Amino acid sequence: MTSSPEPWPTDIAYDSAEKILRVAFESGEHFELPAEYLRVESPSAEVQGHHPSQKVLVAGRRHVGIRQIEPVGNYAVRLIFDDLHDTGIYSWRYLSELGRERESRWATYLAALAAKGLKREP
């Protein structure tokens, strides 16, 4: 079995007006990831739990932004959101996965909100 190479970023930039994190990879892939999407899919234990069945549905983050991006070694960034969430470490692999799976993950998120009667608005 051959494992795929680790995604390696060539550019990462945040547009605070649009609240979009733009990430480009050596592979040629590039993604525009809204801050709200990154917040509700945070890799932190606070959001993901310690098992897939423990994932927390985060509502009311439509207007969340990113205040700061901190490098973590050479493998990830820590995103500090303006709602003060700051415990997620976004590896390059996870950011690439979020980009590739954005459409399906977002649809699942919206369906889960609707099923629980929750909203994106704060």
CATH number assigned to the domain comprising residue 21: 3.30.2020.30
Instruction: Give how many domains the chain has, as a whole number.
Output: 1
For the cut 80, the answer to whether the pLDDT of residue 108 exceeds it is yes
In a domain, 122, yes or no: no
For 59-103, the pLDDT digits (tens) are: 999 999 999 999 999 999 999 999 999 999 999 999 999 999 999
DSSP 16: T
User: What is the domain extent for residue 30?
Assistant: 9-116
In a domain, 2, yes or no: no
CA distances from 75 to 7, 14, 25, 72 (A): 9, 18, 13, 6
Is there a contact between 100 and 29 (Cβ–Cβ < 8 Å)?
yes
For the cut 80, the answer to whether the pLDDT of residue 3 exceeds it is no
In a domain, 1, yes or no: no
For 25-63, the pLDDT digits (tens) are: 999 999 999 999 999 999 998 899 888 888 899 999 999
What percent of the chain shows pLDDT beyond 70?
Answer: 97
CA distances from 3 to 6, 7, 30, 88 (A): 9, 12, 21, 25
Q: What is the pTM of this model?
A: 0.93
In a domain, 4, yes or no: no
HSE-up of residue 111 (Cα within 13 Å, Cβ side): 6
Distant-in-sequence, close-in-space partners of 101: CB < 8 Å, separation ≥ 6: none
In a domain, 16, yes or no: yes
In a domain, 80, yes or no: yes
Q: Average pLDDT of 15-23?
A: 98
In a domain, 15, yes or no: yes
3 state SS of 103? helix
Amino acid letter, 29: E
In a domain, 36, yes or no: yes
